[in-house]
Amino acid sequence: MKTSTNYVLIRLAACAMTVACLAGNTFADSEIYNKTLNSTAWVLAKTGGATSSGTGVLVNAQKKLLITNFHVVGDARSTVVFFPETKDGKPIVERSHYLKNVKQIGIRGRVLGVDRKRDLALVELDRLPENAVAIPLAEGSIGPGEDVQSIGNPGSTDALWVFTSGTVRSVYQKQFRTGAGEHDFRVVETQSPINSGDSGGPVVNNDGELVAISQAISPKARLVSYCVDVSELKGFLESPWKPAPLPVIDVLERTELKFTKHESGHFEVSIHQTDNDRQSVFVTKEVEYFERADVRKVWALAATLKEAPGLETMMKLLQQSARTKIGAWTVEKSENGDYLVIYCCKVDATATPDALKSTMEYVAKLTSITKKDLTPATNTKNAADTLESWLGS
């Protein structure tokens, strides 16, 4: 009987310790959430004609700098940012509250720089609310088995500043592709769920220090999420920030050139050469990039030929390519068997509107002259009619 009583007492003590431990963990999670909350923002950006929603984290209060994912801001160069407001000591998490009061509490942000490889973007804010604080960055990477907590703004719920906890599965270098492009960075892989809208949010350790930024969820595995390691954030912040290219339509408007949007999504500019000659020049809708190089493709059609160019013509085009420096001639075969003689060049996507205008005028002049050498004017087709297959490639 005595042994049975001792056993019951031991079991009761163990249960009490378990409850106390769980309560302690709950309190610790709540403390970390409150500590991280005032560093976390809801980020809205207009990109591709639609509004993108994500999360950001304040990393420098003095300079009013916020970090989020590149895929959150996309081609947008301005954002609207909200920090959490409180009522009776608790955060107001209803999404509708912020949308109704955007003029009063929304903060304008300017995208300073982007790093597509790391999927990071840096935003400078016009101002900060009084309660906003910069998050402390961890000295080094977190390790497998360690706890992580995160805050995000998932679009699947009406609530903002949603808390999630989990465990680190692994930390390693990863190369992969998303809709935002090719990525190569040190990944913190966790089993914490990441939803659309959580991207760019803080991932912190048990001391409330930033160890990663939420980035994406694995499409091939359940509860496998990828986050950008703090070492990548530090590398981004310490490197020279590359200016973020403006959307092409904004640049074209500043060139004062008349342009139209082709059905492919690319843009066509008609440039006057002579009284009877207007040359169509095209510029791509998207930015191409490699490492830290951002470029736009500019091209124009010189001729549409029924037969492949002869040796003499090809030699002339090669010699001209060597002399022009900024671009080169290419011969593309269309779906109907015609040969398209196209001059193509690539211009820095961060170049000024004047630089883009000069490039397009140069391409127009060169193709207009070559057009006369390659084909009679009566046989020259309009570029918008003959570039269908090439535009879509």
Last residue of a domain, one of 238, 273, 292: 238
**Parent domain of 284:** 248-391
For residues 284 and 184, membership in a common domain is answered with no
**Taking the CB of residue 377, how many other CB atoms lie within 10 A of it?**
9
Last residue of a domain, one of 195, 218, 238: 238
Task: Tally the domains of the chain.
Answer: 2
For residues 142 and 185, membership in a common domain is answered with yes
Here the tokens at position 156 are 């699947």
What pLDDT shows up at residue 360? 92
Provide the 3-class DSSP secondary structure of residue 11. helix
For residues 262 and 216, membership in a common domain is answered with no
What pLDDT shows up at residue 21? 42
For residues 301 and 337, membership in a common domain is answered with yes
Provide the 3-class DSSP secondary structure of residue 21. helix
CATH number for position 109: 2.40.10.120
For residues 63 and 202, membership in a common domain is answered with yes
Here the tokens at position 93 are 């998490």
CA distances from 41 to 61, 128, 203 (A): 13, 11, 13
Here the tokens at position 90 are 């608790």
Low-confidence ranges of the chain (pLDDT < 70): 1-28, 48, 219, 221, 241-242, 273-276, 291, 375-393
Beta bridge partners of residue 340, listed in sequence order: 304, 332
User: Does 12 fall in a domain?
Assistant: no
For residues 120 and 151, membership in a common domain is answered with yes
Encode pLDDT of 282-333 as tens digits.
Answer: 999 888 877 677 889 999 999 899 889 889 889 988 888 888 778 999 999 9
Here the tokens at position 62 are 């003095």
Which amino acid belongs to residue 335?
E
Task: Tell me the pTM.
Answer: 0.71
Q: What is the DSSP string of 105-128?
A: H-EEEEEEEEETTTTEEEEEES--
